[in-house]
């Protein structure tokens, strides 16, 4: 019974984190219409860092040990700086639909770094279903939108690599520090650099920045940068990096659903069919992890 509760808690937390993250790319797409990618990246990190610092102080969390600083720096590089900046830059060259191709590869990147950094050893069959799931997401995205620019594709590949690394190191560290503590300390660690970048990239004029851009900045700052990681790192720490990481395969479809509801983009029946396949592959990947 305890094992079942732990499993439900791990996968439930991971799924909630994925749902929160699903709004990140649509929100970023809207936000870069009003803010530069550099300002958006630094501003969202500073807002989240202020909230994280308040939580750490109010709840009297102990400072991380010296041995944890290197891993926290990797988390900061991957998910606080690298992924937000590179995706914001990429979305200036490619559509949000095309970026889904690369988000679909994130579970595989996370699993690889889970092996390299977390010492996990999934069974060989796991890799089969992980690759099938990623291929399904990629095929769906390419069939939905085949246009794009090479620079945008390369930026997204770099973003996925850094994000997978940050996810894996953060999950390992979460087993000792706790999920929300890891992302909070990573945000605080990156705050000095992000503060300087924010000052250097302030908009020359605040006029013309619409309400949607401000709301999108708020979303990626509070939810994408902090709240989502509280649930995501908890799920990875409890259920395993490679196994729970496969839930990211659902993120593109949640993102498209949000884009359809909030941005008025059409949702094809192929999305539902592909989602069904991905759910099957996620279930089998979990079974053999």
Q: Does position 144 have pLDDT exceeding 60, yes or no?
A: no
Bigger pLDDT: 191 vs 164: 191
Q: Across residues 5-28, what is the average pLDDT?
A: 85
Q: Which residue has the higher pLDDT, 44 or 113?
A: 44
What pLDDT score was predicted for residue 10? Answer: 83
Select the more confidently predicted residue: 5 or 17: 17
Can you give the C-alpha Rg of the chain in angstroms?
A: 18
**CA nearest neighbour of 32 among 97, 79, 80, 85:** 85
Q: Identify the pLDDT of residue 223.
A: 93
Mean pLDDT across the stretch 194-215?
93
Question: 99 is written with which tokens?
Answer: 């970026």
Percentage, residues of the chain above pLDDT 90:
32
Is the pLDDT score of 264 beyond 80?
A: no
Condensed to tens digits (0 to 9), the pLDDT of residues 220-263 reads 999 999 888 888 888 877 887 767 877 877 887 787 777 777 76
Q: Give how many domains the chain has, as a whole number.
A: 1
Q: For tokens 């690369």, what's the residue?
A: 102
Rounded average pLDDT over 207-219: 93
Residues 6 or more apart whose Cβ sits within 8 Å of residue 28: 40, 84, 87, 88, 91, 216, 220
pLDDT score of 118 more than 70: no
Please tell me the pTM assigned to this model: 0.81
> What phi, psi does 286 have (nearest 5°)?
-60, -40
Is the pLDDT at 148 greater than 60? The verdict is: no
Give the domain range for residue 32.
2-288
- pLDDT per position as a tens digit, 57-110: 999 999 999 999 999 999 999 999 999 999 999 988 877 767 776 777 787 787
Q: Residue 92 belongs to what H/E stretch? A: none
Q: Provide the sign of the torsion angle of the four alpha carbons 19, 25, 28, 30, taken in this order.
A: negative
pLDDT at position 127 is 81
pLDDT 10s digits, 159-180:
989 998 998 888 888 878 877 8
pLDDT value at position 162? 94
Q: Which of 14-18, 163-167, 190-194, 235-239 has the lowest mean pLDDT?
A: 235-239
286 falls in which pLDDT band (50, 70, 90)? low
């Amino acid at each position: 019974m305890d094992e079942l509760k732990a499993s439900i808690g791990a996968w439930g937390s991971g799924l909630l984190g994925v749902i929160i993250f699903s709004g990140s790319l649509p929100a970023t797409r809207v936000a870069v219409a009003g803010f530069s990618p550099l300002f958006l990246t630094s501003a969202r990190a500073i807002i989240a860092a202020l909230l994280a610092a308040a939580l750490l102080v109010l709840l009297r969390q102990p400072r991380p040990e010296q041995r944890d600083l290197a891993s926290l720096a990797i988390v900061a590089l991957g998910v606080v700086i690298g992924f937000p900046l590179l995706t914001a830059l990429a979305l200036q060259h490619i559509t949000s639909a095309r970026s889904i191709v690369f988000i679909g590869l994130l579970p595989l990147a996370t699993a690889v770094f889970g092996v390299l950094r977390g010492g996990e050893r999934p069974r060989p069959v796991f890799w089969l279903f992980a690759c099938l799931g990623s291929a399904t997401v990629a095929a769906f995205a390419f069939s939905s939108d085949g246009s794009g620019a090479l620079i945008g594709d390369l930026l997204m590949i770099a973003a996925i690599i850094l994000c997978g690394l940050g996810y894996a190191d953060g999950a390992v560290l979460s087993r000792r520090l706790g999920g929300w503590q890891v992302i909070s300390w990573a945000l605080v660690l990156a705050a000095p650099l992000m503060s300087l970048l924010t000052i250097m990239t302030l908009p020359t004029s605040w006029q013309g920045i619409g309400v949607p851009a401000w709301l999108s900045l708020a979303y990626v700052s509070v939810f994408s940068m902090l709240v989502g990681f509280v649930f995501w790192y908890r799920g990875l720490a409890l259920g395993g990096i490679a196994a729970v990481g496969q839930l990211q395969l659902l993120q593109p479809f949640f993102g498209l659903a949000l884009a359809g509801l909030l941005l008025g983009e059409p949702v094809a029946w192929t999305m539902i069919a592909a989602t069904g396949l991905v759910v099957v592959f996620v279930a089998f990947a979990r079974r053999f992890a």
